[in-house]
Chains A and B, each alone.
Chain A
Amino acid sequence: MLRRLRPVMAAAAAWLLLTTSLAPHPEAQVEVRGPVQITAGAPAEIRQWTPLLEGMLRGGELRRRPPRPDRVMSVRSHDRADQYHRGVRVFGGDVVLQMESAQVLSIFGTLHRGVDLDTAPVIDEAGALAAVERRGAEPHLDAPELVVLPRDAGAYLLAWRIRATLPGDIRQFFVDARTGAVLLDFSDVKSQVPIIGTGTGVLGDQKKLSVRRAVNGQYVAEDGRRPPTLRTYDMQGNITRTVDFLSGRVNLNPATELAADADNNWTDVMAVDAHVYSGWTYDFLFKRFNRRGLDNGDVRIVSLVHPARREDFSTPLGSQWPLFFANAAYFGSGVVAYGVGLPPGVTAGGRTWDYMSGALDIVAHELAHGVTDYTSDLIYLNEPGALNEAFSDIVGTSVEFFYQPAGTGPLRADYLLGEDVVRPNGIRSMADPGMFGHPDHYAIRYTGTADNGGVHINSGIANHAFYLAIEGGTNRTSGMAVLGVGGVNRQQIENVFYRAFTELLPSSATFSIARAATIQAARDLYGVNSSPERAVTEAWTAVGVH
């Protein structure tokens, strides 16, 4: 214990000596205004600065931090002191003393002389925070700090120092405490090096995660490698917080609410899959369609996991917010919330429901709604709504085939939707919509008002057309056969539907317009009478859309 205390005692002795025994040096009495650099290594230089430091310590203009022992030279210690002006810290004003026993060996620092500033702010903390938020930044939880901000030519201003997050950056803002203007802001990200972690997904599979290391040493689910801001927040089962965020009543704090892991070997399976699959979907859109994210401009992607707790399903919250259990939803502006599934032993539709982010096609499906929002903006009602859903199913399935081997079972690409987490068989089938009671032909389409006019029901018609155009086959209702382009050429049909749904369709498109648009897209991309054009035409005809 004594050994540990020795550097501290020595530092205290040195400061005592500094403040009591050394006579003021005449040069120190010279009044200077502005920053003064201190570089004192020789005894004479140290003696020169001693009176100034002595006076500032006694007057409270310098306040010591706890001394730190020297990790390399154990007999030495380092004392730091911050400069204050009328109780307000002078930003960047501090000195460092290196000491051995009671002897000062060096002094380095910057002090600001001649500061004459009223330290009563006109703008309060809330006003300063609002100024930062107007810059599009999310202030961090740590309270704003009132500081004296040195400016050019020896000028000083009273300012609020605030740390805040912007897409891809954490910045320090200095807001003028008198006018509310932002005086200075700069990036406060000490390391721009993104980090790759490992994680276990919902199905127990191992994945790589693109994350970053936070200031507190934790690894957080913020992708530092892909172009857009891609974050996954852990809502920790707090439905109220989730709803407040989705309603725009609160902002989420990346510093405290991002999904996190201590050792970068992630075990929160829901967060792992949401984060990884969001990135994969972004990559798919880029590689397949040369599209940069949902808006083609790298808009943020925000995933919310654990929006509720499974055990809350049987409470009123479960019936009030079913979205947060056996569902996933796109809420606009790149925000997706994934349901936590149902408690063990509870089924819906005769199926068990796991964490919804565990299915790649579901994640891609939800993000594809964002693509639709930024392109055709298909109205989420009746036929355009069914086309909206169908496009998301098409993208979801296409992403599956892009990353996973074709087949049946977990982590295999097929034409079922959500089958990896909704067991058995998922929630929809593009190959056989009738498997879920959905129409596979326009003549038997749903015409009621439920489900926004059957957006999740009638999507089966367009889904089946997509399927037939690739795989070929016979429509059960019409009995018409289609010669598909074949699985190896699936990219052709994906390109056709992508082009039609993002470039050609109006927001109120009908199935008939979708047929015409996809045929046009096939001609645009592959020529008149091309194999894709023929396959698409036959497919729409087979499902009764003319």
Chain B
Amino acid sequence: MLVLALGASAADAQPRRPRAPREPRVFVTVGAGALTGTEATDRVEWLEHVEIAVANVSYGSGARRLVGGSVGVRLWRQLGAGVAFTSASHEGAAGVEGRIPHPFHYEQPRDISGETGALSRSETGLHLQVLYIVPTTGRVGLMLSAGPSRISARQDTVTRVQFTEAFPFDTAAFQRADTRALSASAPGFNAGAEATYMFTRSLGVVGLVRFTRASIALMRPDGDRLSLDAGGVQAGAAVRVAF
């Protein structure tokens, strides 16, 4: 995931000199990176052959692409405030293992397993940050950040499994999954650090690591919920412009 952060340039940490130009107070950062994958499991139930069919779904995602940006302001001495925006997305299959009731007999379910097609998962986060600019010298700067987040997630979820069966119906085979996109948002938090190298007084590059987390409940129309741990470890690189 890309970390957006307000950062202080190396110059920020240097002692002021009487005739030196005024130090930058505002920083804008834009970049890209990756967000570590998360996993979620879900249990889907529906009525099939007058019994309850069950499918246990494992949503997994590898590292997700991340883009984002941030704006930060130095407010007082080494302290500042910022706001960052991140967006991550991923497409991947979900594993399904289920039990399909027999059409003619109670309590004689058939096991099925398979993989869904590509399911989409996306997250957007808005992160408010308190910034602490670590005093340094030279072109290299270091900044710590933490604060509350609001993370929205959209996930293609399995609602039902389609299967094939034929007489004498002692087996069934996974065919495909019906899906429905669910979305929700929840409050969370963020904390991170970033290192800056300023080529000039106003232009530099940033390497950053941030951890964000929010527990999101995706509500299905039937009232069931799928709990997602949104966020994760974000790592990325960015370009910073300081004013």
Name A279's contact: one of B50, B104, B106, B170 (CB within 8 Å): B104
B76 interface contact, C-beta 8 A: no
- Do residues B49 and A283 form an inter-chain contact, with CB atoms below 8 A? no
1/0 per residue, CB under 8 A from A, across B156-188: the answer is: 000000000001111000000000000000000
1/0 per residue, CB under 8 A from A, across B49-73: the answer is: 1100000000000000000000000
- State the CA gap A198–B102 with chains docked (Å): 13
Q: How far is the CB of B160 from chain A (nearest CB, A)?
A: 16
Name A225's closest neighbour in chain B (CB-CB): B103
Q: How far is the CB of B162 from chain A (nearest CB, A)?
A: 14
CB neighbours (8 Å) of B167 from chain A are 225-227, 286
Name B48's closest neighbour in chain A (CB-CB): A196
Name B104's closest neighbour in chain A (CB-CB): A208
- State the CA gap A361–B167 with chains docked (Å): 23
A286 touching B106 in the complex, CB below 8 Å, given contacts A196-B49, A196-B50, A208-B50: no
A280 interface contact, C-beta 8 A: yes
Q: How far is the CB of A405 from chain B (nearest CB, A)?
A: 13
- Do residues A196 and B103 form an inter-chain contact, with CB atoms below 8 A? yes
B105 interface contact, C-beta 8 A: yes
1/0 per residue, CB under 8 A from B, across A194-229: the answer is: 001110000000111010000000000000011100
A287 interface contact, C-beta 8 A: yes
- Do residues B104 and A210 form an inter-chain contact, with CB atoms below 8 A? yes
- State the CA gap A279–B169 with chains docked (Å): 13
Name B108's closest neighbour in chain A (CB-CB): A208
A198 touching B103 in the complex, CB below 8 Å, given contacts A225-B167, A227-B167, A286-B168: no
CB neighbours (8 Å) of B102 from chain A are 208
Q: CB within 8 Å of B: which of A281-323? A: 283, 286-287
Name B50's contact: one of A198, A225, A280, A283 (CB within 8 Å): A198
The bracket for how many chain A residues form the interface is 10 to 19
CB neighbours (8 Å) of B168 from chain A are 283, 286-287
CB neighbours (8 Å) of B169 from chain A are 225
CB neighbours (8 Å) of B50 from chain A are 196-198, 208
A283 touching B106 in the complex, CB below 8 Å, given contacts A196-B49, A208-B49: no
A-B contact count (CB 8 A): 32
CB neighbours (8 Å) of A283 from chain B are 104, 168
Name B170's closest neighbour in chain A (CB-CB): A287
CB neighbours (8 Å) of B106 from chain A are 206-208
- State the CA gap A279–B49 with chains docked (Å): 16
Question: Residue among A207, A208, A226 with the most chain B CB within 10 A?
Answer: A208
The bracket for how many chain B residues form the interface is 10 to 19
Name B166's closest neighbour in chain A (CB-CB): A225
Q: How far is the CB of A1 from chain B (nearest CB, A)?
A: 36
Say what secondary structure dominates the interface of chain A: mixed
Name B105's closest neighbour in chain A (CB-CB): A208
Q: How far is the CB of A198 from chain B (nearest CB, A)?
A: 5
Name A264's closest neighbour in chain B (CB-CB): B50
Q: How far is the CB of B163 from chain A (nearest CB, A)?
A: 14
Q: How far is the CB of A317 from chain B (nearest CB, A)?
A: 36
Q: How far is the CB of B175 from chain A (nearest CB, A)?
A: 16
CB neighbours (8 Å) of A196 from chain B are 49-50, 103-104
CB neighbours (8 Å) of A208 from chain B are 49-50, 102-106
Q: How far is the CB of A290 from chain B (nearest CB, A)?
A: 11
1/0 per residue, CB under 8 A from A, across B98-112: the answer is: 000011111000000
Name B169's closest neighbour in chain A (CB-CB): A225
- State the CA gap A61–B49 with chains docked (Å): 49
- State the CA gap A226–B50 with chains docked (Å): 17
- State the CA gap A165–B106 with chains docked (Å): 31
- State the CA gap A208–B102 with chains docked (Å): 9
Name A276's closest neighbour in chain B (CB-CB): B104
Q: How far is the CB of A147 from chain B (nearest CB, A)?
A: 38
Q: CB within 8 Å of A: which of B108-157? A: none
CB neighbours (8 Å) of A276 from chain B are 104
CB neighbours (8 Å) of A286 from chain B are 167-168
CB neighbours (8 Å) of A287 from chain B are 168, 170
CB neighbours (8 Å) of B49 from chain A are 196, 208
CB neighbours (8 Å) of B105 from chain A are 208
- State the CA gap A196–B167 with chains docked (Å): 14
Question: Residue among B104, B167, B169 with the most chain A CB within 10 A?
Answer: B104
Question: Residue among A196, A198, A206, A280 with the most chain B CB within 10 A?
Answer: A196
CB neighbours (8 Å) of B170 from chain A are 287
- State the CA gap A197–B169 with chains docked (Å): 16
Name A283's closest neighbour in chain B (CB-CB): B168
Q: How far is the CB of A431 from chain B (nearest CB, A)?
A: 28
- State the CA gap A283–B168 with chains docked (Å): 7
- State the CA gap A227–B167 with chains docked (Å): 8
Name A284's closest neighbour in chain B (CB-CB): B168
Name A207's closest neighbour in chain B (CB-CB): B106
Q: How far is the CB of B158 from chain A (nearest CB, A)?
A: 22
Q: How far is the CB of B107 from chain A (nearest CB, A)?
A: 11
Q: How far is the CB of B165 from chain A (nearest CB, A)?
A: 9
CB neighbours (8 Å) of A227 from chain B are 167
Q: How far is the CB of A134 from chain B (nearest CB, A)?
A: 31
The 5 A-B residue pairs with the shortest CB-CB distance, nearest first, are A196-B49, A198-B50, A196-B103, A196-B50, A283-B168
- Residue pairs across A and B with Cβ atoms less than 8 A apart, 30 shown, are A196-B49, A196-B50, A196-B103, A197-B50, A198-B50, A206-B106, A207-B106, A208-B49, A208-B50, A208-B102, A208-B103, A208-B104, A208-B105, A208-B106, A210-B103, A210-B104, A225-B103, A225-B104, A225-B167, A225-B169, A226-B167, A227-B167, A276-B104, A280-B104, A283-B104, A283-B168, A286-B167, A286-B168, A287-B168, A287-B170
Give the B-binding residues of A (Cβ under 8 A): 196-198, 206-208, 210, 225-227, 276, 279-280, 283, 286-287
Apart from A225-B169, A279-B104: 9 A-B pairs, beta carbons within 8 A: A198-B50, A208-B50, A208-B103, A225-B103, A227-B167, A276-B104, A283-B168, A286-B167, A286-B168
